[in-house]
């Protein structure tokens, strides 16, 4: 199960602006962007249990919301870039969240991995890929995919 | 696994080289032959685990073969031979000086000097590099670099409490015009990643990152340098460690995984496109914080007899080192693993981060376990130190290593390296004078090697632990560039009535090194000592660290640079009475550029220095404090624009390096030190990058004052041009603001030394410099500050 | 006179605990470092102490968000913490400690597990360590800031210090009761109404992003006037007030 955490739109201006600026610096002009955090929780939990994780642990109730069906954004005609650490690389955040989940649920998930998703409206996937490899990901430690949403 | 491995003893030279490349050992032909010889003598084939252990133990990273090896240095017609370059230069100076306040030098993970007055504490200090990992994965490389040097401090003696982190970086120019090869990151990306890595690791673990520097030069475009350092406090009765036969081997902290395979050998192979993913890791600061918290409690309760960090070589090095006298019996199946897909030999050599090895008497294991559990720190008991001198490593029924310790730590074959003095054309002609010296000053202030570092420094928690008395950013607006950091380590001593502290700073000058590596070493030691003096530290008790970075030692000119710099280190240490207490080196900092040509870094020597500060409350900052106070220039301004920032901007036609007169500067600093102790000095700032003009501007705008100056009285070498006086970087000079009421006393204390009044601090926010009747410049300090205060990141 | 016992709460990644301990000891308290594991195991009880402090740091790496995991761990002990605050025993949360107090809901309304405000990522998007000027709200019931001048200097060192209240009514009520005990003179992180620290209605539970323990002595200030070398500084008052209150 992948739990996606969103900053509510009214609080997301800064992170979006800084992201757009960073990619502009790498030569990509972006019309609009949305950002989210992803937690992949490998566990046989029920949907209610995942809901509990989303609401009581993984989100800030004031500024964030969560979704159990990743990829849904208001952004039309956008690309979705999903970035994870390679499985061979120790995921420090994932480990720490796994411990926290064990505390909250009273049972340990198999593994937890932390990733990020970027929703980007821009004119070219090729340029996007180029900019992403120059700024957001390092092929040595990251894996990523780009898809149209 | 390469099939030839099982027939190791019968391989020929070519096959050995192929095997070495396939396994990534970075052993030389000579070394491989020696291994073969040893195993033939034993009458059996080596196991993979044994070969890996040897590759790790004999690696450049662990053994420092180049610096500690024989060298033949050709200088024109003369030849000088060294059996062990390091011992005959740097170590020799320390031995000759034989300072009583040096408590441990060159033997442990870090050097230790006395701290404070009570004889109760020692100060451990260490710096090292993490260059190659930062070139490949800047964020993770920087994080694990910081984590590694912190563990050195945790693993010195029975463990010191870290109270300061230092960081010095060299990057390519952010505005570089050179085309990068396909797999290189841009300097900007490397800088961002490195800064964020140092930030996230240092801030999380709660150690102030409060001293360092950033140097931009296209020589570092493909091979950035990342020097990380750490200082810690240790009770003097916890400096001795000794593994006792029967002690248990306990690993605490992080788990072991495949992510840490082949870091040690990595640091001696040139970076190329096949660098594997497993060579870089992401740091886990919180795990290291747990080990820190456990260690400090367990140390004070005396729960272990020895400790060391897992660095390069992982268990194999750490346990091999601790057990070098006793031998070790290791059961790898007991190790806590990240996941189970790992070969036994990989567990043995994996360099997974955040692990420490303790030597624990069996009777004390229970108490230690209580603390480990209380701090949620993972651990495992891996075996014991039996006392038979044998290294036996097993995984279940499988024998991974079975060797006498003496073999591993005995003679690594070494061969003489040729070295030669580099030929550099020197032009001593008077430099060309540009029009508009005020405009030059503004350009210098905006130069990447001079401008403000606030956008980096403010990302570091430089005040955690509450003991940062003199901060990297200081003055009226909290943004003036300090010369040295002063720490009052009461988070370690817990003594609220003790104001004893220590200062830390650095000297670095590859610009000079390109022209004259010997003078570079002198200048760098001088710069470090002078920086310590500026904050009011007791420079007669300076202790220094050397960190050499160079390109391939197979190039005789690179070796020549090294020899000259090492000789400079020796001479400077002797002249300043400042022993080296620890050092490191990193070679093969070169890579192929976009055209496929070898692209080496310039010889780079970071001198890190520390000296005691008797009472941190009396330490001095660099900003002007009060209008009307007289301003003095101490030291003689000498000819030569070589290695200057000015020459980097616009070549002046002169690349001569001003030689350092060490005897004169030692006398000068002793006199100034007395004047500072007497409270005569309100502010002090060294003259370095950008020269005197930059020093004056920084003192002015950091204090919100102007200054009216006439430089005609300044002590100067005959024939000195105005450009050299204002923007030359001859060493051993500093600017002082003297307390007006104490000027007479000041003059008495510095009598006979080249110290000259050059003007006074003024209320009007204007910096004006004249030479007799001629005005060099007259600039608004706020304009100057605007040029200087750039956002680097 | 018997020294009041202060509990300095630690956890994995707490890293301003020693200087907080030093500060409380200096003003005459008897501080003890206690790991949350010790509370959860029943080895220590919060109600055995007169004062409580949540020091700065990166508890549990600040993974998920700053102070979140620590706050979640405290949930099992919510009744004890609520009782401590209800008794009007002084509680101070500094930086990460403030984040924890807010994320449990102990601030501002003393309702553990009912978070009404948060401390979010700075507007600049990253960690920021610098000295700032803060204004002291003289009308605030906060006991920690009593006797301080109108404006003082303290260093901040945080990545998530932007104070946000979602519900306008809650914010109005905070202002009406003067719970905003401290505001930034120049907002460094985008906090609503420049808020740097808030208190509960009783004035006994207080959280702030700046670090008073780092401006405890005059020598800790980046601009060092020679005259001030021997004296304590503004940060001292926060700790002194707490000890005076219970003595």
User: Within a 10 A sphere around the Cβ of B741, how many other Cβ atoms?
Assistant: 10
Give exposure, A93-131, as e/b (b: 16+ Cβ within 10 Å): bbbbbbbbbebbbeeebeebbbbbbbbbbbeeeeebbeb
Fold of B102-409: Phosphoribosyl-aminoimidazole Synthetase; Chain A, domain 2 (3.90.650)
Quickly state the pLDDT bin for B277 (edges 50, 70, 90).
very low
pLDDT of B405-434, one tens digit each? 888 777 677 889 999 999 999 999 999 999
Nearest C-alpha of chain A: how many angstroms from B259?
Answer: 6
ipTM of the complex: 0.97
| B31-45, B56-70, B199-213, B266-280: least confident range | B266-280
Residues of A in contact with B354 (CB under 8 A): none
Nearest C-alpha of chain C: how many angstroms from A93?
Answer: 6
Quickly state the pLDDT bin for B341 (edges 50, 70, 90).
confident
Per-residue pLDDT, B355: 97
**Span B377-390, average pLDDT:** 96
Most distant pair of Cα atoms in chain B: their distance: 89
**Span B172-181, average pLDDT:** 95
Nearest CA in chain C to B489: C19
Fill in the DSSP letter of residue C178.
Answer: T
Judged on CB neighbours under 10 Å (0-12, 13-18, 19+), B273 is exposed
User: Within a 10 A sphere around the Cβ of A13, how many other Cβ atoms?
Assistant: 11
Residues of B in contact with A97 (CB under 8 A): none
Q: What is the sign of the dihedral through the CA atoms of B290, B295, B296 and B297?
A: positive
According to DSSP, the β-strands at C205-208 and C91-94 are parallel
Quickly state the pLDDT bin for B57 (edges 50, 70, 90).
confident
Question: Does C22 lie at the interface with B, CB-CB under 8 angstroms?
Answer: yes
Q: Which residues contact B243 (CB under 8 A, 6 or more apart)?
A: B305, B306, B322, B323, B325, B326, B359, B385
Contact C10, C36 (CB under 8 A): yes
Total length of chain B: 793
Angle made by CA atoms B412, B416, B419, in degrees to the nearest 5: 135
CB contact under 8 A, B282 and A135: no
- Hey, what are C149's tokens? 């001048």
Per-residue pLDDT, B229: 98
CB contact under 8 A, B469 and C219: yes
**Span B579-592, average pLDDT:** 95
Residues of A in contact with B375 (CB under 8 A): none
Residue C36's nearest CA partner among C55, C63, C64, C62 is: C55
CA separation for the pair C174, C187 (Å, rounded)? 19
- The percentage of chain B sitting over the pLDDT mark of 90, rounded to a whole number, equals 87
Q: What is the sign of the dihedral through the CA atoms of B143, B146, B147 and B148?
A: positive
Residue B298's nearest CA partner among B241, B249, B358 is: B358
Per-residue pLDDT, B466: 96
Ramachandran quadrant class, B653 (left: phi over 0; alpha: psi -120 to 50; beta: rest): left
Q: Is the pLDDT of residue B139 over 90?
A: yes
The mean pLDDT of chain B is 94
Q: Which residues contact B600 (CB under 8 A, 6 or more apart)?
A: B219, B223, B551, B552, B555, B558, B589, B590
Helix axes B285-300, B187-205, angle to 10 degrees: 40
Contact B129, B225 (CB under 8 A): yes
Instruction: Give the side-chain half-sphere CA count within 13 A for A83.
Output: 20
- Is CATH 3.30.1280.10 correct for A2-148? yes
Alpha helices in C75-211 (DSSP H): 78-86, 96-104, 168-176
Q: Is the pLDDT of residue B61 over 80?
A: no
CB contact under 8 A, B199 and C56: no
- Domain locations along chain A: 2-148
Q: Is the pLDDT of residue C227 over 60?
A: no
Per-residue pLDDT, B163: 98
User: Cα A120 to chain center, whole Å?
Assistant: 13
Contact A69, A61 (CB under 8 A): no
| Torsion angles phi and psi, residue B675, rounded to 5 | -65, -35
User: Within a 10 A sphere around the Cβ of B542, how many other Cβ atoms?
Assistant: 26
Whether omega before C108 lies within 30 degrees of 0, making that bond cis, reads yes
- Hey, what are B97's tokens? 């000086």
CB contact under 8 A, A14 and C117: no
- Hey, what are B475's tokens? 């003055």
Nearest C-alpha of chain C: how many angstroms from B128?
Answer: 24
Contact B137, A138 (CB under 8 A): yes
Nearest CA in chain C to A8: C166
Mutate to test the interface with B, among C224, C225, C239 (most CBs of B within 10 A): C224
Nearest C-alpha of chain C: how many angstroms from B26?
Answer: 37
DSSP readout, B39-75? Answer: HHHHTSPPPHHHHHHHHHHTSHHHH-TTTTS-EEEEE
- Hey, what are B609's tokens? 């220095």
CATH code for the domain in which residue C102 is found: 3.40.50.880
Q: How far from each other are the two terminal CA atoms of chain B, in whole angstroms?
A: 45
Quickly state the pLDDT bin for B147 (edges 50, 70, 90).
very high
Q: Is the pLDDT of residue B274 over 60?
A: no
B130 is annotated as an active-site residue: yes
**Span B363-371, average pLDDT:** 98
Domain of C138 in residue numbering reads as: 5-246
**Span B98-125, average pLDDT:** 96
CA separation for the pair B421, C240 (Å, rounded)? 65
| B209-223, B580-594, C223-237: least confident range | C223-237
Residue B446's nearest CA partner among B778, B790, B175 is: B790
DSSP readout, B564-604? Answer: HHHHHHHHHHHHHT--EEEEEEE---EEE-TTS-EEEPPPE
CA separation for the pair B253, B335 (Å, rounded)? 11
- Domain locations along chain B: 102-409, 622-793
User: Within a 10 A sphere around the Cβ of A87, how many other Cβ atoms?
Assistant: 10
Tell me if residue B71 falls in helix, strand or coil. Answer: strand
CB contact under 8 A, C127 and B471: no
Instruction: Indicate the residue of C61, C69, C118 with minimum beta-carbon distance to A63.
Output: C118
Quickly state the pLDDT bin for B159 (edges 50, 70, 90).
very high
Instruction: Indicate the residue of A88, A95, A134 with minimum beta-carbon distance to B277.
Output: A88
Quickly state the pLDDT bin for B511 (edges 50, 70, 90).
very high
pLDDT of B616-675, one tens digit each? 999 999 999 999 999 999 999 999 999 999 999 999 999 999 999 999 999 999 999 999
Q: What is the sign of the dihedral through the CA atoms of C149, C151, C156 and C161?
A: positive
Residues of B in contact with A90 (CB under 8 A): 257, 259, 281-282, 284, 338, 352
Instruction: Report the DSSP beta bridge partners of residue B771.
Output: B774
Quickly state the pLDDT bin for B279 (edges 50, 70, 90).
low
Per-residue pLDDT, B273: 40
Tell me if residue C162 falls in helix, strand or coil. Answer: strand
Tell me if residue C61 falls in helix, strand or coil. Answer: helix
CA separation for the pair B412, B59 (Å, rounded)? 10
Nearest C-alpha of chain C: how many angstroms from A59?
Answer: 8
Tell me if residue B42 falls in helix, strand or coil. Answer: helix
CA separation for the pair B53, B32 (Å, rounded)? 13
- The percentage of chain B sitting over the pLDDT mark of 70, rounded to a whole number, equals 97
Instruction: Indicate the residue of A15, A61, A99 with minimum beta-carbon distance to C125.
Output: A15
Instruction: Give the side-chain half-sphere CA count within 13 A for A5.
Output: 22
Q: Where do we find the tokens 């376990």?
A: B369
| Torsion angles phi and psi, residue B423, rounded to 5 | -90, 120
Contact B779, B719 (CB under 8 A): no
CA separation for the pair B585, B46 (Å, rounded)? 30
Instruction: Report the DSSP beta bridge partners of residue B358.
Output: B250, B307
Ramachandran quadrant class, C64 (left: phi over 0; alpha: psi -120 to 50; beta: rest): left
Higher pLDDT, B183 or B231: B231
Instruction: Indicate the residue of C129, C222, C226 with minimum beta-carbon distance to B461.
Output: C129
Nearest CA in chain C to B535: C224
Question: Does C10 lie at the interface with A, CB-CB under 8 angstroms?
Answer: no
- Hey, what are B468's tokens? 């940062």
Nearest C-alpha of chain A: how many angstroms from B281?
Answer: 7
Angle made by CA atoms C226, C228, C233, in degrees to the nearest 5: 150
Q: Is the pLDDT of residue B242 over 60?
A: yes
Residues of A in contact with C116 (CB under 8 A): 62
| A56-60, B180-184, B499-503, B619-623: least confident range | B180-184
C16 is annotated as an active-site residue: no
Query: Number of structural domains, chain C?
Result: 1
pLDDT of A92-104, one tens digit each? 999 999 999 998 9
User: Within a 10 A sphere around the Cβ of B253, how many other Cβ atoms?
Assistant: 28
CB contact under 8 A, C219 and B499: yes
Q: Is the pLDDT of residue B505 over 80?
A: yes
Helix/strand/coil (H/E/C) assignment for every residue in chain A = CEEEEEECHHHCHHHHHHHHHHHHHCCCCCCEEEEEEEEEEECCCCHHHHHHHHHHHHCCCCCEEEECCCCCCCCCCCEEEEEEECCCCCCHHHHHHHHHHHHHHCCCCCEEEEEEEEEEECCCHHHHHHHHHHHCCCCCCEEEEEEEC
C158 is annotated as an active-site residue: no
User: Within a 10 A sphere around the Cβ of B775, how many other Cβ atoms?
Assistant: 13
Q: Is the pLDDT of residue B268 over 90?
A: no
pLDDT of A75-123, one tens digit each? 888 999 999 999 888 899 999 999 999 989 999 999 999 999 999 999 8
Q: Where do we find the tokens 């000088």?
A: B80
Question: Does B189 lie at the interface with A, CB-CB under 8 angstroms?
Answer: yes
Residues of B in contact with A96 (CB under 8 A): 286
Q: Is the pLDDT of residue B263 over 70?
A: no
Nearest C-alpha of chain A: how many angstroms from C69?
Answer: 6
**Span B209-236, average pLDDT:** 98
Contact C112, C75 (CB under 8 A): yes
pLDDT of C71-103, one tens digit each? 999 999 999 999 999 999 999 999 999 999 999
Query: Which residues between 672 and 701 in chain B have a beta carbon less than 8 angstroms from any beta carbon of chain C?
Result: 679, 682
| Torsion angles phi and psi, residue B11, rounded to 5 | -75, 145
pLDDT of B284-337, one tens digit each? 999 999 999 999 999 999 999 999 999 888 999 999 999 999 999 999 999 999
Residue in C142, C158, C160, C213 annotated catalytic: C213
CA separation for the pair C14, B465 (Å, rounded)? 11
Question: Does B464 lie at the interface with C, CB-CB under 8 angstroms?
Answer: yes
Tell me if residue A59 falls in helix, strand or coil. Answer: coil
Mutate to test the interface with A, among B136, B139, B140 (most CBs of A within 10 A): B140
Instruction: Indicate the residue of C64, C120, C121 with minimum beta-carbon distance to A97.
Output: C64
Nearest CA in chain A to C115: A61
Q: Which residues contact A36 (CB under 8 A, 6 or more apart)?
A: A4, A5, A6, A7, A70, A116, A117, A119
Write down the CATH number for the domain with range B622-793: 3.90.650.10
- Hey, what are A1's tokens? 């199960």
Residue in C16, C95, C142, C205 annotated catalytic: C95
Q: Give whole-number Cα distances, B243 to B357, B390, B485, C123, C140, in Å.
A: 11, 14, 36, 52, 59
Instruction: Indicate the residue of A90, A134, A135 with minimum beta-carbon distance to B282.
Output: A90
Tell me if residue B222 falls in helix, strand or coil. Answer: coil
| B255-264, B347-356, B555-564: least confident range | B255-264
């Amino acid at each position: 199960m992948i739990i996606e955490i969103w900053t509510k739109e009214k609080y997301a201006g800064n992170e979006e602006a800084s992201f757009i600026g960073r990619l502009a610096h790498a030569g990509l002009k972006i019309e609009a962007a949305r950002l989210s955090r992803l937690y992949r929780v490998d566990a046989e939990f029920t949907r209610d249990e995942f809901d509990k994780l989303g609401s009581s642990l993984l989100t800030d109730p004031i500024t964030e919301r969560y979704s159990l069906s990743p990829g849904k954004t208001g952004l039309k005609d956008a690309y979705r870039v999903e970035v994870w650490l390679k499985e061979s690389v120790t995921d420090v955040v994932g480990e720490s969240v796994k411990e926290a989940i064990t505390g909250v649920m009273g049972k340990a998930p198999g593994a937890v991995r932390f990733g990020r998703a970027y929703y980007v409206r821009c004119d070219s996937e090729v340029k996007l890929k180029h900019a992403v490899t120059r700024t957001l990901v390092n092929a040595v430690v990251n894996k990523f995919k780009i898809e149209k949403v | 696994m390469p099939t030839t491995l099982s027939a190791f003893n019968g391989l020929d030279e070519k096959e050995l080289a192929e095997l070495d490349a396939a396994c990534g050992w970075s052993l030389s032909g000579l070394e491989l032959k020696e291994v073969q010889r040893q195993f033939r003598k034993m009458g059996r084939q080596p196991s993979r685990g044994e070969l890996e252990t040897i590759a790790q133990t004999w690696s450049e990273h662990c053994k420092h073969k180049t610096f500690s090896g024989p060298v033949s240095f050709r200088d024109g017609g003369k030849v000088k031979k060294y059996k062990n370059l390091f011992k005959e230069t740097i170590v020799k100076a320390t031995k000759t000086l034989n300072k009583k306040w040096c408590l441990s030098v060159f033997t442990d993970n870090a050097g230790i000097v006395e701290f404070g007055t009570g004889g109760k504490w020692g100060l451990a200090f260490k710096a090292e590099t993490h260059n190659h990992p930062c070139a490949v994965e800047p964020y993770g490389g920087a994080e694990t670099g910081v984590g590694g040097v912190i563990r050195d401090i945790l693993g010195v003696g029975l463990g010191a409490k870290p109270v300061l982190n230092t960081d010095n970086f060299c990057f390519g120019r952010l505005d570089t015009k050179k085309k990068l090869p396909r797999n290189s990151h841009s300097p900007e990306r490397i800088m961002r990643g490195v800064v964020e890595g140092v930030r996230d690791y240092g801030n999380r673990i709660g150690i102030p990152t409060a001293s360092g520097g950033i140097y931009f030069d296209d020589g570092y475009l493909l091979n950035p340098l990342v020097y990380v350092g750490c200082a810690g406090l240790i009770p003097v009765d916890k400096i001795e460690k000794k593994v006792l036969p029967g002690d248990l081997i306990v690993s605490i902290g992080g788990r072991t995984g495949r992510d840490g395979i082949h870091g040690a050998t990595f640091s001696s192979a040139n970076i190329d496109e096949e660098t594997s993913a497993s060579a870089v890791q992401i740091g886990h600061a919180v795990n290291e914080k747990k080990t820190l918290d456990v260690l400090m409690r367990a140390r004070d309760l005396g729960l272990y007899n020895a400790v060391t960090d897992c660095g390069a070589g992982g268990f194999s090095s750490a346990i091999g080192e601790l057990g070098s006298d006793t031998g070790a019996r290791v059961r790898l199946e007991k190790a806590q693993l990240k996941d189970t897909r790992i070969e036994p030999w990989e567990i043995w050599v994996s360099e997974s981060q955040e692990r420490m090895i303790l030597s624990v008497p069996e009777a004390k294991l229970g108490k230690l376990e209580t603390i480990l559990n209380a701090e949620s720190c993972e651990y495992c008991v891996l075996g014991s130190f039996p006392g038979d001198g044998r290294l036996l490593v097993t995984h279940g029924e499988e024998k991974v290593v079975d060797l006498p310790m003496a073999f591993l730590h005995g003679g690594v074959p070494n061969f003489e390296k040729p070295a030669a003095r580099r030929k550099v054309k020197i032009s001593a002609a008077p430099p060309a004078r540009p029009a508009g010296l005020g405009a030059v000053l503004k350009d210098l202030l905006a130069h990447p090697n001079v401008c403000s570092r606030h956008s980096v420094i403010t990302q570091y928690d430089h005040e955690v632990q509450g003991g940062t008395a003199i901060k990297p950013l200081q003055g009226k607006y909290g943004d003036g560039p300090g010369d040295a950091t002063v720490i009052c380590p009461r988070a370690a001593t817990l003594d609220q009535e003790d104001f004893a502290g220590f200062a830390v700073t650095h000297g670095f000058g590859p610009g000079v090194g390109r022209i004259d590596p010997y003078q570079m070493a002198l200048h760098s030691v001088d710069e470090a000592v002078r920086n310590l003096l500026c904050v009011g530290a007791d420079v007669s008790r300076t202790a220094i660290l050397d960190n050499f970075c160079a390109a391939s030692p197979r190039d005789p000119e690179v070796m020549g640079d090294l020899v000259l710099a090492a000789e400079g280190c020796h001479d400077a240490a002797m002249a300043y009475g400042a022993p080296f207490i620890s050092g490191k080196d990193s070679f093969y900092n070169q890579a192929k550029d976009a055209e496929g040509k070898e692209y080496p870094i310039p010889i780079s020597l970071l001198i890190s220095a520390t000296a005691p500060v008797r009472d941190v409350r009396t330490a001095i900052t660099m900003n002007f404090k009060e209008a009307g106070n007289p301003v003095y220039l101490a030291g003689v301004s000498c000819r030569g624009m070589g290695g200057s920032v000015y020459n980097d901007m616009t070549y002046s036609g002169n690349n001569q390096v001003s030689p350092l007169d060490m005897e004169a500067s030692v006398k000068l600093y002793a006199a100034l030190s007395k004047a500072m102790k007497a409270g005569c000095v309100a502010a002090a700032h060294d003259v370095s990058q950008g020269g005197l003009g930059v020093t004056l501007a920084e003192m002015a705008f950091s204090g919100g004052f102007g200054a009216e100056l006439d430089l005609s009285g300044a002590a100067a070498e005959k024939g000195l041009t105005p450009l050299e006086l204002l923007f030359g970087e001859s060493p051993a000079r500093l600017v002082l603001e003297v307390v007006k009421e104490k000027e007479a006393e000041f003059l008495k204390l510095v009598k006979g030394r080249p110290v000259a009044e050059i003007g006074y601090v003024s209320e009007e926010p204007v910096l004006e410099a004249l030479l007799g009747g001629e005005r060099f410049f007259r600039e608004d300090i706020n304009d100057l500050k605007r040029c200087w205060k750039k956002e680097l990141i | 006179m018997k020294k009041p016992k202060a509990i300095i709460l630690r956890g994995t990644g707490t890293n301003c605990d020693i200087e907080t301990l030093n500060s409380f000891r200096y003003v005459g308290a008897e501080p003890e470092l206690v790991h949350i594991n010790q509370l959860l195991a029943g080895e220590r009880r919060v109600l055995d102490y007169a004062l409580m402090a949540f020091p700065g740091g990166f508890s549990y790496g600040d993974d998920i968000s700053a102070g979140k995991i620590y706050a979640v761990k405290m949930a099992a002990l919510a009744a004890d913490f609520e009782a401590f605050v209800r008794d009007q025993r002084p509680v101070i949360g500094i930086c990460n400690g403030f984040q924890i107090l807010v994320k449990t809901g102990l601030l501002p309304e003393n309702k553990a597990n009912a978070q009404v405000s948060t401390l979010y990522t700075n507007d600049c998007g990253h960690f920021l360590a610098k000295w700032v000027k803060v204004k002291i709200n003289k009308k605030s019931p906060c006991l920690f800031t009593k006797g301080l001048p109108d404006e003082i200097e303290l260093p901040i060192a945080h990545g998530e210090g932007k104070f946000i209240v979602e519900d306008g009514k809650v914010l109005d009520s905070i202002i009406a009761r003067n719970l905003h005990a401290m505001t930034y003179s120049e907002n460094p992180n985008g906090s609503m109404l420049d808020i740097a620290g808030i208190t509960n209605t009783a004035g006994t539970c207080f959280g702030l992003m700046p670090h008073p323990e780092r401006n405890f002595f005059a020598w800790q200030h980046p601009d060092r006037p020679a005259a001030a070398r021997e004296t304590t500084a503004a940060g001292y008052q926060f700790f002194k007030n707490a000890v005076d209150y219970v003595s």
